[in-house]
A and B are shown apart, each in its own frame.
Chain A
Amino acid sequence: MTRPAVRIRDVHKSFGNTEVLKGIELSVPKGSTTCLLGPSGSGKSTLLRCIAFLEETTSGLIEIDGDPLGFADPGGGRSRTRLSAGDIRRVRAKIGMVFQQFNLWPHMTALGNVTEALVTVQGMKRSAANEIGNQQLARVGLSDRGHHYPSELSGGQQQRVAIARALALSPDILLFDEPTASLDPELTGEVLNVMRELAETGMTLVIVTHEIGFAASVGQKIAFLDHGKLLLDGPPAEIFGTPRHPRLEQFLETYLDRGAATLV
């Protein structure tokens, strides 16, 4: 078996005295789409942010394609050691992230957002970076919007620019934290379609979402979090098929009642 894209080993995370993640074990197979579901406050964003190293875990280890992220296990039962900033940056370069609030830089055009790291971080020539940037914008259906500023774009367009920004660095793994949650309902489709296409290209995706229909149809793996614990982890047919776990049943009812999604 090949190494998983992400391996999470007994991860705990506390904010002050509140333990938000309580011993998570999860592995994300390469080239698959994993959807993280769970009620509000269950720790989905925190887990995703730990995988991106935007939050530091309190204990446990996370490996990205076999490389330890942030902390390493020295073996022999000794406590974990912190890795250098350079090591962290090197491993994190394999990860891209798409945020609920898009987080586009407002003083740069769409193309500027997409090419910024190519030029600033990778030292690429402006013309070469623009070429890649335009390709990525085309991939998310925004070839004609490169010179627009974020404030001149709709929410759905902004989120697609954010996806193009992440794609431009050709990450191995793309993380999404509720990418459609701050969009008007009529704009979620265009973003979900882009994500569906990405999933088909065989990129590794980890998606926190409340779009249960999308999760059921696109996800190869569903992880259900509840109160900081990974309650369920398996293929959608198994997770959503009957009999269902009572907590999942309860969760689905809340979302289906709200009309937020329909089970496929």
Chain B
Amino acid sequence: MSTRLFELMLWAAGKTVLLSAISIAIGLAIGLLVCAAKLSPRRLLSIPATVYVSLFRGVPLLVQLLLIYNLLPVLGILVPSEVAAIAGLSLCTAAYQAENLRGGFNSVPRGLIEAADMVGMSPWQQLRRIRAPIAFRLTLPALVNEMILILKASSLISVVGVIELTRMAQNLSASTFRPLLFYSVAGAIYLVICWLVAGGGSLAERLMRTGSSR
């Protein structure tokens, strides 16, 4: 493989990472809101959140992407395909992240909250200082897992016309007639990225277990 072609593959890998990272971050923000709504005692909030989660977990991501891509122009929204791709990935991962977060919040031991009650913390102080940090620590492994899933699932966004790692491999295979080479390289790049993410995750977990790097 010439350097030029390898650079193209790396550029595409960069795009995969960038779009995945943005989608994970937006998905985390939406996921937090959905989780909060779902934990709310108000049915006006919890029911829509439940519907959201079951819809986005129940429909294949590929179908969601195609729906969003075709729906946006109908609504008169003209955006680059990257934006449509990010919208699809974020909305989907948000549903999973909301459920992970909910599990985290529900696993915060009751006694820790009672201890916060006894020192006079308000509900908001408890959320900020006790429940959220502990829930986040409990959720971290699932978050890393979700990052890896989204990195790999991002190969689907080629259907809405984004040239990312998988599509680049496909294109180069077709023009050079060397599919084995390009798909192997693509596979190896995915693998390395996922290793890095997993490694970063374990490092973060280790630092958090003792609370800091001190």
Contacts and interface: CB of A to CB of B under 8 A. Distances in A.
Interface of A: 52, 54, 89, 92-93, 95-97, 99, 101, 103-109, 116-117, 120-121, 147, 149, 151-152, 162, 165-166, 169
B43 to A, nearest CB: 23
Given A96-B118, A109-B211, A116-B119, 13 more contacts: A92-B117, A92-B118, A99-B115, A103-B115, A116-B129, A120-B121, A120-B129, A121-B120, A121-B122, A147-B214, A149-B210, A149-B211, A169-B120
A116 B130 CA distance: 10
B39 to A, nearest CB: 20
Mostly helix, strand, loop or mixed at chain B's interface?
helix
B133 A107 contact: yes
A151 B133 CA distance: 16
Which size bracket describes the interface of B in this complex?
20 to 34
8 contacts: A54-B117, A99-B111, A99-B114, A106-B112, A117-B120, A120-B129, A151-B210, A169-B119
Mostly helix, strand, loop or mixed at chain A's interface?
loop
B213 to A, nearest CB: 13
B189 interface: no
Contact of A107 (B115, B117, B119, B137): B137
Interface of B: 109, 111-112, 114-122, 125, 129-130, 133-134, 137, 208-211, 214
Contacts of A93: 120
A132 B116 CA distance: 18
Given A107-B134, A107-B211, A149-B211, A165 B119 contact: yes
B111 A101 contact: yes
Q: Which residue, of B116, B119, B125, has the highest number of chain A Cβ atoms within 10 A?
A: B119
A153 B115 CA distance: 18
B118 A166 contact: yes
Which 6 residue pairs spanning A and B have beta carbons closest together? A117-B119, A103-B111, A103-B115, A97-B118, A121-B120, A149-B211
A48 B78 CA distance: 63
A96 B114 CA distance: 11
